[in-house]
C-alpha cells in the first residue's frame, strides 16, 4: 500500500510541472515586467508575473493560445503552443511600449493619450522630439489617470477645439461610468467614408 501511495505522489509531482513557463520583458530595455497578465484562451483563470517578470502556468496537455499584457505595453499573443506531458513548455514574451506618435512633424510638446484593453488610460508628454509616423518612443513622463481625470481631459479638449472634436457617450460601463468617444475630424459629427 505504501508503495502505491508513493507512486501516486511521484506521478502527481511530475504532473505539477506540466504547462508553460517563461518571462515577460520590455522589448526596448529588456527589463522584467512585473504584474503582467498571462491569459490562456478558453481558460477563465489568469495569472500574473512575479517581481522578475517570471511566470508559471499549470495546464493539461494540449494546444493553447497565450496572451501577455500589461498596462503601457502592446499585448502579445503566441498561438498554437503545444503543452506535453513533460516539463513545462517555455514561452517568453517581449512587449513593446504602447506609446506611438502619429505625426511626422517636429513638435515642441506633444500630448498623447493611450488606453489598454481594460480601459486604463495614460497621458504621456514628449518634449522637443522629432518623430516619424508610428515610431515607438519612450515617454519622459508616464502616469495612469483615474476615470474622472480622463473625463476632465476629454471635456477640456472638446471645449477648446469644437471645430475639430465631438465628444459623446456610447453607453455605460458595468460600473455605470460613461464610455466616452472623441471624434477628431475636420467635419465632426458628419460621417465620411
Kindly write down the DSSP assignment for every residue of the chain, as one continuous string.
-HHHHHHHHHHHHHHTT-EEEEEEEETTT--B-TT-EEEETT-S--EE--TTSEEEEE--SEEEEEEEE-TTB--EEEEEEEE-SSSPEE--EEEPBS-EE---S-EEEEEEEEE-TT--EEEEEEEEE---TTEE---SEEEEE-HHHHHHHHHHHHHH-TTTEEEEEEEE-TTS-EEEEEEE-SSTTS---
Same domain? For 16 and 89 the reply is yes
pLDDT of residue 16: 55
Give the C-alpha distances (Å, rounded to integers) separating 86 from 1, 64, 81. 27, 16, 14
Same domain? For 159 and 90 the reply is no
Q: Is the pTM of this model over 0.85?
A: no
pLDDT of residue 43: 87
Same domain? For 11 and 87 the reply is yes
Is residue 193 a part of any domain in this protein?
no
Same domain? For 1 and 93 the reply is yes
Is residue 5 a part of any domain in this protein?
yes
The total of structural domains in the chain comes to: 2
Is residue 66 a part of any domain in this protein?
yes
Same domain? For 92 and 151 the reply is no
pLDDT of residue 125: 45
Is residue 89 a part of any domain in this protein?
yes
Is residue 191 a part of any domain in this protein?
no
Is residue 116 a part of any domain in this protein?
no
Same domain? For 2 and 92 the reply is yes
Same domain? For 3 and 64 the reply is yes
Is residue 158 a part of any domain in this protein?
yes
Q: Are 77 and 93 in contact (CB under 8 A)?
A: no
Residue ending a domain, among 55, 80, 97, is 97
pLDDT of residue 144: 63
pLDDT tens over the chain, length 193 residues: 777 676 666 555 555 568 899 999 999 889 999 999 999 998 888 999 999 999 999 888 899 999 999 888 888 999 999 998 878 899 999 998 875 444 444 444 444 444 444 444 544 444 444 444 445 554 555 556 677 778 888 888 888 888 888 888 888 888 888 888 888 888 888 877 7
pLDDT of residue 140: 53
Same domain? For 4 and 80 the reply is yes
Same domain? For 13 and 81 the reply is yes
Residue ending a domain, among 39, 64, 97, is 97
Same domain? For 170 and 82 the reply is no
Is residue 128 a part of any domain in this protein?
no
Range of the domain at 49: 1-97
The CATH number assigned to the domain holding 69 equals 2.60.40.1120
pLDDT of residue 146: 73
Residue ending a domain, among 97, 129, 155, is 97
pLDDT of residue 106: 45
Amino acid at each position: 500500500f505504501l508503495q502505491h501511495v508513493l507512486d501516486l505522489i511521484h506521478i502527481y509531482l511530475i504532473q505539477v510541472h506540466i504547462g508553460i513557463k517563461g518571462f515577460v520583458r520590455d522589448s526596448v530595455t529588456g527589463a522584467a515586467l512585473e504584474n503582467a497578465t498571462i491569459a490562456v484562451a478558453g481558460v477563465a483563470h489568469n495569472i500574473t508575473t512575479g517581481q522578475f517578470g517570471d511566470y508559471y502556468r499549470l495546464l493539461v496537455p494540449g494546444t493553447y493560445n497565450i496572451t501577455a499584457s500589461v498596462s503601457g505595453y502592446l499585448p502579445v499573443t503566441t498561438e498554437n503552443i503545444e503543452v506535453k506531458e513533460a516539463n513545462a513548455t517555455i514561452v517568453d514574451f517581449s512587449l513593446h511600449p504602447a506609446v506611438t506618435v502619429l505625426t511626422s512633424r517636429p513638435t515642441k510638446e506633444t500630448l498623447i493619450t493611450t488606453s489598454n484593453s481594460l480601459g486604463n488610460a495614460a497621458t504621456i508628454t514628449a518634449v522637443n522630439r522629432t518623430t516619424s509616423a508610428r515610431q515607438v518612443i519612450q515617454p519622459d513622463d508616464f502616469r495612469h489617470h483615474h476615470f474622472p481625470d480622463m473625463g476632465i481631459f476629454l471635456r477640456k479638449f472638446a471645449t477648446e477645439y469644437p471645430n475639430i472634436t465631438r465628444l459623446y457617450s456610447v453607453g455605460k460601463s458595468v460600473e455605470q461610468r460613461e464610455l466616452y468617444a472623441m471624434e477628431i475630424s475636420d467635419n465632426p459629427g458628419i460621417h465620411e467614408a
